[in-house]
């Protein structure tokens, strides 16, 4: 998005800023392509949760199995009409590091979190159209199961489950200080990017990405720490977020907590594959992940909020 041409920026602004355009294209797509295939019994996978917990790495890992259909960069900005706009072939780009500067590389065929453009509609629309939308994505990719990474879907797990009862939800958790420090670093990074390039701010806003920068919105109202430029704000947000996740989903049989620090262990990764009913195949590399929490975090923090976060983290460890 940093190097988009004027025409590319105009196209994204024009399509993504007006829901009526996307919805009209969606209706056209249904008329031309939709086949009423029953997908409700499939174990679709939804990755959701607080950012900087390995959600994108988990997405890329599962996508590499070639067992799932997912939205990819090539679908932008026509996210609601994946079949119609496959006619407009885009020349692939060489893989490059994404704007986060976090070592994750992508090209036009890489999966990403784009389906919030669909979910950012009324509950009635989602209830009526989710199966249709996923059907269209599956059709384009000739697959039976859908894979999504959407950090906001934790808010609508009940809704998705009521429509697709066999779906599975993966909620990653990372050591609180490491995750909070990563959140803080990204916030400061995107603050600079948004000030330098307003299109990046608009682009992230269209996708419902309010995690960092000038677009930032807290997941929960701060209690003691209100400054997002301070590590304690992010540790408190970590606590508030995962307290609700633990309370609500600890007994959901199709919600699985994924511990980021354990992903470097192949036997742990294999357990995750079993939980989502994905058989190990030649494309699945159980050593896909590396443990990036080895470095020490040299930053001052409030001891009380840190201690609270550690106790909560230990609760999640008991599930694994």
Contact between 36 and 30 under an 8 Å Cβ cutoff? The reply is no
As a whole number of angstroms, the distance between CA 259 and CA 248 comes to 18
Other C-beta atoms closer than 10 Å to the C-beta of 262 total: 16
Higher pLDDT pick, 157 / 15: 157
**pLDDT value of residue 244:** 97
Measured at the CA of 15, the angle between CA 11 and CA 21, to 5 degrees, comes to 145
Tens of pLDDT, residues 245-255: 999 999 999 99
What SS3 string covers the chain?
Answer: CCCCCHHHHHHHHHHHCCHHHHHHHHHHHHHHHCCCCCCCCCCCEEECCCCCCCHHHHHHHHHCCCCEECCEHHHCCCCCCCCHHHHCCCCCCCCEECCCCCCCEECCCCECCCCHHHHCCCHHHHHHHHHHHHHHHHHHHCCCEEEEECCCHHHHHHHHHHHCCCCEEEEEECCHHHHHHHHHHHHHHHHHHHHHCHHHHHHHHHCCCCCCHHHCCCCCCCCCCCCCCCHHHHHHHHHHHHHHHHHHHCCCCCEEEEEHHHCCCHHHHHHHHHHCCCCCCCCCCCCCCCCCCCCCCCCCCCHHHHHHHHHHHHHHHCCC
More confident residue, 148 or 14: 148
Domain boundaries, the chain: 6-317
Q: Looking up tokens 């030649």, which residue turns up?
A: 282
Residues facing 12 on adjacent strands: none
The string of pLDDT tens digits covering residues 265-298 is 999 999 999 999 998 777 888 888 876 556 778 8
Please give the pLDDT value at position 241: 98
Query: What is the structure's pLDDT at 292?
Result: 57
What is the spatial distance between Cα 104 and Cα 56, in angstroms, rounded to a whole number? 8
Q: What is the pLDDT of residue 84?
A: 83
pLDDT of residue 284: 87
Average pLDDT of the residues in 92-96: 78
Confidence of residue 91 (pLDDT cuts 50, 70, 90): low
End-to-end CA distance of the chain: 38
Q: Check: pTM over 0.85? Answer yes or no.
A: yes
**Confidence class of residue 3 from pLDDT cuts 50, 70 and 90?**
low
Q: What is the pLDDT of residues 222-258, one digit of tens each?
A: 999 999 999 999 999 999 999 999 999 999 999 999 9
Residue 89's pLDDT band (cuts 50, 70, 90) = low
Decide if pLDDT at 187 tops 90. Answer: yes
C-alpha 199/C-alpha 10 separation (Å) is: 10
Decide which of 2.40.420, 3.40.50, 3.30.160, 1.10.10 is the CATH code for 6-317: 3.40.50
**Share of residues in the chain with pLDDT > 70 (%):** 96
> How do residues 133-145 score in pLDDT, each as one tens digit?
999 999 999 999 9
Is 88 a residue whose pLDDT tops 70? no
């Amino acid at each position: 998005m940093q190097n988009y041409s004027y025409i590319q920026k105009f196209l994204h602004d024009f399509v993504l800023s007006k829901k009526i355009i996307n919805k009209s294209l969606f209706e056209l797509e249904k008329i031309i392509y939709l086949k009423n295939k029953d997908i409700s019994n499939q174990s679709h996978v939804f990755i959701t949760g607080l950012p900087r917990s390995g959600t994108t790495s988990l997405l890329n890992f599962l996508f590499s199995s070639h067992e799932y259909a997912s939205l990819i960069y090539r679908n932008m900005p026509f996210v609601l009409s994946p079949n119609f706009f496959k006619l407009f072939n885009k020349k692939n780009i060489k893989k490059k590091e994404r704007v986060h500067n976090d070592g994750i590389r992508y090209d036009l065929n890489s999966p990403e979190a784009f389906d919030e453009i669909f979910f950012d509609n009324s509950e009635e629309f989602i209830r009526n159209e989710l199966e249709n939308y996923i059907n269209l994505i599956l059709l384009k990719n000739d697959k039976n199961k859908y894979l999504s990474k959407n950090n906001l879907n934790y808010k609508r797990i009940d809704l998705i489950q009521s429509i697709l009862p066999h779906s599975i939800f993966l909620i990653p958790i990372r050591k609180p200080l490491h995750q909070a420090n990563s959140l803080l670093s990204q916030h400061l990074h995107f603050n600079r990017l948004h000030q330098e390039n307003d299109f990046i701010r608009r682009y992230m806003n269209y996708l419902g990405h309010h995690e960092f920068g000038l677009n930032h919105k807290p997941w929960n109202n701060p209690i003691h720490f209100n400054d997002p430029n301070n590590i304690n704000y992010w540790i408190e947000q970590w606590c508030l977020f995962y307290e609700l996740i633990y309370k609500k989903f600890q007994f959901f049989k199709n919600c699985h907590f994924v511990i980021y620090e354990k992903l470097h262990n192949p036997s742990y990764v294999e357990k995750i594959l079993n939980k989502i009913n994905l058989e190990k195949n030649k494309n699945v590399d159980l050593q896909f992940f590396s443990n990036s929490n080895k470095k020490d975090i040299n930053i001052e923090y409030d001891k009380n909020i840190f201690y609270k976060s550690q106790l909560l983290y230990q609760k999640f460890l008991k599930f694994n």
